[in-house]
């Protein structure tokens, strides 16, 4: 019997046939749905490069089996901007030079979006650093990343107010 999984990805329902039950969400997004913005760093849950929003919460796509998340809602970096309008987190990353090579950046941004939605860190740089600690940056752009997340938190709160 053929296996398949149905997901809503960046607002679009997608059904994908699977020939292997061990396919991860990361490989499904990158290789089957042509969404390569989600990066494969370690492929073992240690770097955060593959961070997506899974049913509204940040998750490492390399650790999630696609079949286990049938029916889930997924947002990837490709789904953040709306009609050419950058998400406040994306805009803040540019404003604060929060990247160098950019490899970790999609994961950093998705993690920041999740962190802001969780509302745990607020505008406290120390708590932001702690909340973002699952996302590694080999270029060491941490200062800019923290500043960007703090500013984006303000922007998102301002929009919501
Ligand atoms: Fe998933 Fe590193 S690629 S955590
Ligand atoms: Fe190069 Fe973070 S910007 S790994």
- Mean pLDDT, residues 139-153 taken together: 98
- Mean pLDDT, residues 51-77 taken together: 98
β-sheet with 57-60: strand ranges across: 12-18, 3-9, 73-75, 51-54, 57-60
C-alpha 56/C-alpha 102 separation (Å) is: 24
Instruction: Give the three-state DSSP class for 132.
Output: coil
Q: Quick one: which ligand is closest to 64's CA? A: 1
Domains of the chain are 3-78 (3.10.20.30), 88-157 (1.10.150.120)
CB 78 near ligand 1, within 6 Å: no
Q: Within a 10 A sphere around the Cβ of 144, how many other Cβ atoms?
A: 19
Instruction: Give tens-digit pLDDT for 79-123.
Output: 999 988 999 999 999 999 999 999 999 999 999 999 999 998 999
Pocket test for ligand 2, best of 97, 105, 112 (most atoms within 8 A of CB): 105
Contacts 24+ apart (CB under 8 A), 128-134: 128/153, 132/108, 134/48, 134/51, 134/60
Nearest ligand 2 atom to alpha carbon 101? 1
Give the relative orientation of helices 88-95 and 105-118 as an angle to the nearest 10 degrees. Answer: 120
The structure tokens 């947002």 sit at 75
Nearest ligand 2 atom to alpha carbon 108? 2
pLDDT at 9 over 70: yes
pLDDT computed for residue 120 by the predictor: 87
pTM: 0.96
Instruction: Give tens-digit pLDDT for 10-38.
Output: 999 999 999 999 999 999 999 999 999 99
Q: How far is CA 37 from CA 31, 85, 124, in A?
A: 11, 17, 29
């Amino acid at each position: 019997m053929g296996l398949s999984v149905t997901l809503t990805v960046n607002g679009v329902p997608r059904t994908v046939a699977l020939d292997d039950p061990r396919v991860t969400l990361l490989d499904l997004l990158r290789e089957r749905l042509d969404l390569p913005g989600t990066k494969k760093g370690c492929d073992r849950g240690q770097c955060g490069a593959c961070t997506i929003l899974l049913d509204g919460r940040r998750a490492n796509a390399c650790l999630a089996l696609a079949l286990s998340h049938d029916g889930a809602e997924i947002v990837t970096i490709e789904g953040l901007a709306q009609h050419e309008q950058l998400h406040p987190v994306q805009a803040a990353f540019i404003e604060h030079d929060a990247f160098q090579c950019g490899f970790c950046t999609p994961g950093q941004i998705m993690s920041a979006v999740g962190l802001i939605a969780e509302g745990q860190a607020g505008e406290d740089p120390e708590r932001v650093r702690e909340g973002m600690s699952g996302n590694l940056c080999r270029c060491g752009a941490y200062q800019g990343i923290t500043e960007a997340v703090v500013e984006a938190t303000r922007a998102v709160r301002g929009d919501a107010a």
